[in-house]
Chain A
Amino acid sequence: MLSETVTSMTTVPGPVAPEQAPRARDGVRATPRGTGPRPSARPRSRRTRRAVLGFLGVLGFAATWELFALAEVVNPSYLPSFTTTARRLVAELGEPRFWSTLGDTLITWALGLAIAVGAALVLGTVIGLVPFLRRATHSTVEFLRPIPSVAIIPLAVLVAGLSREAALIVVVYAPFWQVLIQVLYGIADVNTVARDTARSFGLGRAQRLRHLVLPTALPYVITGFRLAAAIALVLTITSELVIGNPGIGRQIDLYRSAPDAPGLYALVLVTGLLGLLVNLGTRAIERRVLHWHPSVRRETPR
């Protein structure tokens, strides 16, 4: 099977596109001799084909879900059909309460993300620019970073009660380390040679920071931001679910204990769509900010 499929991976030189249309199988040539250039199968149509296939995949998923539910493999009060869930989702979208719940989640997310990114930027820059601090903090950062953020939920609840503040402690923790590490790597990447060159041209400290450190570190920071945004959303909904501060996560738990399965599944779909939007949004920001600097765009190599 592998030797078959690798065919399509074969690239051809130059700006021409790889073959996609009928392919040799089992040594039998798919195209008869002397037919000349094959029609169609242009890149545009291939993109259309991908989109169509992807759409079919979504339809297939919905259909599988529907059949699975109709066959009652699982108790129907635990697994509503896709259509029931979809109808419920539309109904939720018409409810003002849904939007205020969503708003709660988004506010917690945005606050947590802003605090994490802000703190990490300031601390990361200070630590990154002072070699002594870098060496002194390395072991501590490496120790604190892998601590699972949910481990501090009980502590957060103890200190701040069942509140948004408690949720924020949890939401800030993991993205903070993510961005901090990216900032540290970004500043470390500022080529010492380039820095020396800049110094020899008489750039002051502030100018060096502006013309050298920032452009080099920015791609790392933006990537850190993208990852942090996704993690913060996950933690926002997690903390709502576990701590019980208002938001989509708490509503999901309420629907579970009701039990209101269609509502539960509808909100799970909402969280997926929310995550998708955040991912697409931050990727678009990344592309916009870094379009001038594609060569340095990469994630922390470890």
Chain B
Amino acid sequence: MTAVRRTLASAGFTLGLPLLLLLGWAVATRSTTTIYFPTPARVGEAFVATWLDPEILGRDVLPSLGRFAIGVALSIVIGIAAGTVIGSTPWLRALLEPMLEFFRAIPPVVLVPVLMLVLGLGDTMRLAVIVSGSVWPVLLNTVEGVRARDPVLVDTSRSYRVRGALALRYFVLPAASPQIMAGIRLCLSIGLILMVISEMFAASSGLGYQIVFFQRQYMIAEMWSGIVLLGLVGVVVAAVFHVVERRVLHWYHGSREVSRG
């Protein structure tokens, strides 16, 4: 009985406000005539008609998501590899630190014009844009995670002669994984932003291109449905990350809960 009530209450709390907002949107757009804010139903129709259309799905949506996936994967691999080397080599870290701080501070989007100039338009440029912006959080967090290993575990690994690839797999990378995962979360949101930006500039296909196209054509409901789609992509990516992070860092969350009592 109480369990049922609790489930109902939690469902109410989860869905209450979103439904209320949706209702408010519907009521507000019904009574006014502003063209900028179509009714939710109209946006829903446009969403189905636009983004579930196989042609647009195959030409714009999937290639965009593919570039996002490849770009982010490259960033993660490059970031962890380079970060591990830099983080475990003190002189290299001292050498590169100021430049890395500088590169991190450059707003990733200003590299879009640079890369457009150097690489021209096309998939290479778009991938390069994603990687050039989203590699930094992974790289810098890996450096920090690898550097700040627990000294007792370092001694333990040395005295039991756990070295090389084995140490990398079972000591260095797991020890840095909380920081690495934090970097990957940032990398994902920056990557998504850069995917859109790279397509808003002088492109002829892709999610970002389509949304800007709809806006310029005053296809308002379609534009809104594009924003909704990007929002959904963002939410899904965040949710998938959350699940993966819980798995990878289960020991970390577990031990923190224990130490908090």
Inter-chain CA distance A54–B238, complex, in Å, is 36
Known A-B contacts A8-B90, A148-B192, A256-B117; the reply to A238 vs B164 at CB < 8 A is: no
> Is B3 part of the contact surface with A, judged by Cβ < 8 Å?
no
Q: What's the A-B contact tally at a CB cutoff of 8 Å?
A: 193
B114 to chain A, nearest CB (A): 6
Can you name 8 A-B pairs with beta carbons within 8 Å? A2-B164, A50-B97, A144-B231, A145-B238, A149-B193, A157-B215, A158-B215, A238-B107
Residue from the list B112, B118, B157 in contact with A78, Cβ < 8 A: B118
Tally chain A residues at the interface, Cβ within 8 Å: 72
Q: Could you tell me the distance in whole angstroms from the C-beta of A21 to the nearest C-beta in chain B?
A: 13
The yes or no answer to B212 lying at the interface (CB within 8 A) is yes
Complex Cα–Cα for A276 and B97 (A): 13
CB–CB B102/A272 < 8 A? yes
* Beta-carbon nearest neighbor of A274 in chain B: B105
In the complex, A203 has a CB within 8 A of chain B:
no
Q: Are B17 and A148 in contact (CB under 8 A)?
A: no
| A257→B116 CA distance, assembly (Å) | 10
- The 0/1 profile, CB within 8 Å of A marked 1, for residues 4-47 of chain B is 00000000011111100100000000000000100000000000
Instruction: Tell me the complex Cα distance, A133–B140, Å.
Output: 37
Produce 1/0 per residue, B77-104, CB < 8 A to A: 0000000000011110011111101111
Look across to chain A and name the residue whose beta carbon is closest to the beta carbon of B208.
Answer: A150
Q: Which residues does chain B contribute within 8 Å of A210, judged by CB atoms?
A: none
- Supplied contacts A58-B98, A146-B231, A274-B105, 18 more A-B pairs, CB within 8 Å: A2-B88, A2-B163, A9-B149, A9-B151, A10-B155, A50-B97, A53-B95, A79-B118, A143-B235, A147-B231, A148-B196, A150-B197, A153-B200, A233-B107, A249-B107, A268-B114, A272-B105, A301-B256
B-side residues, CB < 8 A to A, are 13-18, 21, 36, 88-91, 94-99, 101-114, 116-118, 147, 149, 151, 154-155, 157-158, 161, 163-164, 167-168, 172, 189, 192-193, 196-197, 200-201, 208, 211-212, 214-215, 220, 223-224, 226-227, 230-231, 234-235, 237-238, 256
Q: Give chain A nearest CB distance to B172 CB in angstroms.
A: 7
Secondary structure of the A side of the interface? Answer: helix
A117 on the interface (CB 8 Å rule)? no
Residue of A nearest to B103 (CB): A272
B40 CB → nearest A CB, Å: 15
Does any Cβ of B come within 8 Å of A138's Cβ? yes
Q: How far is the CA of A78 from the CA of B158 in the complex (A)?
A: 50
State A10–B90 Cα separation when bound (angstroms): 13
Within 8 Å by CB of B223, from A9, A158, A230, lies A158
Residue of B14, B95, B118, B157 ringed by the most chain A CB atoms within 10 A:
B95
Question: CB distance B163 to A139 under 8 Å?
Answer: no
Q: Contact at A139–B14, with CB atoms within 8 Å?
A: yes
In the assembly, what is the distance between CA of A147 and CA of B230, in Å? 7
A238 touching B154, Cβ below 8 Å: no
CA distance A79 to B68 in the complex (A): 27
Taking a contact as CB atoms under 8 Å apart, the answer to whether A5 and B99 are in contact is no
Neighbour of A58 across the interface among B99, B107, B172, CB < 8 A = B99
Q: A145 to B237: give the CA distance in the assembly, Å.
A: 12
Q: From known contacts A79-B118, A146-B238, A148-B193, infer whether A10 and B151 are also in contact, taking CB-CB under 8 Å.
A: yes
Inter-chain CA distance A273–B107, complex, in Å, is 10
Closest residue of A by beta carbon distance from B167: A2
CB under 8 Å from chain B, chain A span 30-53: 49-50, 53
Distance, CA A150 to CA B190, complexed state (A): 10
A109 vs B212: C-alpha distance when bound (angstroms): 24
CB contacts (< 8 Å) of B224 on chain A: these are: 155
Query: CB-CB < 8 A to B189: which residues of A?
Result: 146, 148
Q: Which residue of A lies closest to B95 (CB)?
A: A57
A241 near B117: Cβ-Cβ < 8 Å = no
Closest to A18 in B: B151
User: Which of A192-200, A213-221, A259-267 contacts the other chain?
Assistant: A259-267
B18 touches A143 (CB 8 A): yes
A6 within 8 A of B: yes
Least Cβ distance of A297 to chain B in Å?
A: 16
From residue B150, how far is it (CB to closest CB) to chain A in Å?
Answer: 9
Tell me whether B110 and A271 are in contact (CB under 8 A). yes
Which A residues, 134 to 190, have Cβ-Cβ distances below 8 Å to chain B?
135-140, 142-155, 157-159
Cβ contacts under 8 Å, B21 to chain A:
140
Chain B minimum-CB-distance residue to A235 = B107
Give CA–CA (A53, B231) in the complex, Å.
Answer: 44
Please give, as numbers and ranges, the residues of chain B lying within 8 Å of A58 by CB-CB distance: 98-99
Contact B99 A61 (CB under 8 A): yes
- Within 8 Å CB of B211, what residues of A? 151, 154
- Which listed residue (B14, B94, B155, B161) contacts A54, Cβ 8 A? B94
A234 within 8 A of B: yes
Q: Are B116 and A256 neighbours in the complex by a CB distance under 8 Å?
A: yes
